Each structure stands twice: as structure tokens, then as C-alpha cells.
A = this chain, B = another copy of it.
């Protein structure tokens, strides 16, 4: 059985406070705390590239679990902000970590739904190729493409990286996935000429419409009810979108995590950063993970506790 064994996360120490930008952007505490839910955003050092952040996440991982690099059979990076367009960042990470020649590597280009896509792609790729150990990285440092004067994006997005060890010694295993795309609306969250553009209203409306429908479908597909789910981990698009989706689904706030106050919306890393913490609690039997945004797209999955300890 292949599944999620353990997660390592790296959030850069450097922060930019939104409280310090209230005058510049004409925002107040309500906006900071209740609307976006981001008090400060994490920002990588300028000298750090995407592959470096992935390496930092790996350093966190190996503090939690012994990993023999020679046993890693595949390394994948989910990113839309690679070091370079050629090669894939996973090849650069492969070189920096000194992974074996027999190790496959590929990047998945996806945004806020990227961790869920990555989970499905990695697990199925590993099962088909009879691999036992793989590393799934997420890293999308939007500080590379954010216009510091753009209120719609600069107050919201933070930098981070995560790495998930997928192995035959899982702590959590996945149920059925759901996916969807509204490609014709892709321009609402896009990057041209190295500058991020977001129509916050359009992305909000998309998410508030499609994600609740998707969660209902997901539970039905998995033969589960809302009462079966201990935690709902939604992509941390903003406090307001997480609250809105929760409200539309009638979810008690105790079962919904919002955690991005002190680092921001970290795109494909938002879900694994929280999942790492929720897995450590060892008390959740079933969790729903749901990503949505860039594409426009959504992707969701149910994860189920498989065993108590990492063997």
C-alpha cells in the first residue's frame, strides 16, 4: 500500500507585515484579519531559488525520518515558478540532493490544486512502476512574480516549500479524487511577462460556486458523509474564501483549519503545510483536502489514517 508517510515544510523566516502597509494600500485591521487573514507574508531570500527552498524542505524532512537517498526512486516538483523553464526543477533538486541515477524526476505545472494533482500522479506513477519511495515537492515562490505595488496579490501570497515522502509505509492513504477545470477563465489568475495578475473577485466567485459542489461529489464518490470527516483542509486562498466555503457546506469552524495568518497563501504548499501538523496530531481518521485556483481548477481527495507510527 502506497501513501503519505511524512511531510517536511520550509517557510522562510523573513516576513513582510501587512500592518505596516495599511496606509500604503488603504486597508484596515478588519481587511487584514477577516478578509485576507494574512497578517504577514513569508518571503524567501533573493539568493534562494525554487530548488533551494525544496532542499530546505528536505532538510526538515530528514530531521523527522531517516531517509536513505539511494532508495528514492522518483522525485517530483509541483511548481509554476521553476528555477528555469529548462530543465524541470526536479532535475536540479535531484542534483543538489545527490539522488541516484536510477531516480525518475519530473515537474508538474499546477497551482493551488497542485498538491492534490501531485498526490494522485505520484502515487499512481509509483504503483505502476513498482516504486516504493518517492519525494513529492511543492514550491511556488510568488515573490518572484509579484508586483510590490499590486494590492490584489502582494498582501496575500507567501513563499514556502514542502516535501511529502510517499512510500509503502504510509500513515495516511488516499481515497477517490475529484478534479475539474474551467479553462476558459484562465486569465483571471495568470502570469504574463513575469508579472502575476489576479482578479480576486472572479477567483472568489469561482471557488465559492464550484468547491462546495465538488466536496459534496467527493464525499458521495467515497461513500462518506460530512459527519465522517474530522478535518477539512482547504487551500488557504484567503480567510474569507475558506469561511465562505465552510459556511456554504454548513461546517463547524472546529473542523476547518485556517493557518495562513503568519505566512500567507503559499499556493501548492498551503495544504501540505497544514496536513503536516494535522498528521502529527494522530487524531484525525478522515480528512478532506481540497485545492482550487489557478486554471481555473479544483482537485480534492479524502485521506484516511492508515497506521499510528512511521515504521
- On A, residues with C-beta under 8 Å from B are 74-75, 80-82, 84-96, 98-99, 101-111, 117, 120-121, 123-125, 127-129, 145, 176-177, 179-186, 189-192, 196, 294-297, 299
Q: Which one of B95, B176, B296 contacts A91 once the chains associate, using CB atoms below 8 Å?
A: B296
Q: Are B94 and A183 touching (Cβ within 8 A)?
A: yes
With CB as the reference atom, state the residue of chain B lying closest to A88. Answer: B109
How far, in angstroms, from A94 to B129 measured CA to CA in the complex?
28
Q: Which one of B106, B108, B120 contacts A128 once the chains associate, using CB atoms below 8 Å?
A: B120
With CB as the reference atom, state the residue of chain B lying closest to A130. Answer: B176
Q: Are B105 and A106 touching (Cβ within 8 A)?
A: no
Least CB distance from A116 to B in Å reads 10
Least CB distance from A215 to B in Å reads 15
Q: Are A86 and B190 touching (Cβ within 8 A)?
A: yes
With CB as the reference atom, state the residue of chain B lying closest to A177. Answer: B129
Least CB distance from A134 to B in Å reads 12
Tell me the interface secondary structure of chain A in the complex. mixed
Q: Are B80 and A106 touching (Cβ within 8 A)?
A: no
Q: Are B91 and A80 touching (Cβ within 8 A)?
A: no
With CB as the reference atom, state the residue of chain B lying closest to A89. Answer: B109
Q: List 14 A-B contacts (CB under 8 A).
A: A82-B109, A84-B192, A85-B109, A86-B189, A88-B111, A91-B294, A99-B183, A105-B297, A108-B108, A123-B128, A124-B129, A129-B176, A129-B177, A129-B179
Q: Which one of B123, B180, B190 contacts A84 once the chains associate, using CB atoms below 8 Å?
A: B190
Residues of B within 8 A of A84 (CB): 190-192
How far, in angstroms, from A84 to B194 measured CA to CA in the complex?
9
With CB as the reference atom, state the residue of chain B lying closest to A79. Answer: B109
With CB as the reference atom, state the residue of chain B lying closest to A107. Answer: B109
Residues of B within 8 A of A80 (CB): 85-88
Pick the 4 closest A-B CB pairs, nearest first: A94-B183, A95-B183, A104-B179, A107-B109
How far, in angstroms, from A93 to B85 measured CA to CA in the complex?
19
Chain B CB within 10 Å — which of A98, A106, A129, A192 has the most? A106
Q: Which one of B89, B107, B125, B184 contacts A95 once the chains associate, using CB atoms below 8 Å?
A: B184
Q: Are B180 and A104 touching (Cβ within 8 A)?
A: yes
With CB as the reference atom, state the residue of chain B lying closest to A184. Answer: B95
Residues of B within 8 A of A123 (CB): 128
Residues of B within 8 A of A111 (CB): 86-88
Q: Are B94 and A181 touching (Cβ within 8 A)?
A: yes
Q: Are A107 and B108 touching (Cβ within 8 A)?
A: yes
Q: Are A190 and B87 touching (Cβ within 8 A)?
A: yes
How far, in angstroms, from A145 to B86 measured CA to CA in the complex?
10
Q: Are A91 and B121 touching (Cβ within 8 A)?
A: no
Q: Are A183 and B104 touching (Cβ within 8 A)?
A: no
Chain B CB within 10 Å — which of A74, A104, A107, A108 has the most? A104
For the complex with contacts A94-B184, A109-B109, A123-B128, 16 further pairs of A-B residues with Cβ separation under 8 Å are A74-B179, A85-B191, A86-B189, A86-B190, A86-B196, A89-B109, A90-B183, A91-B186, A91-B297, A92-B183, A93-B183, A99-B183, A104-B117, A105-B181, A106-B117, A108-B109
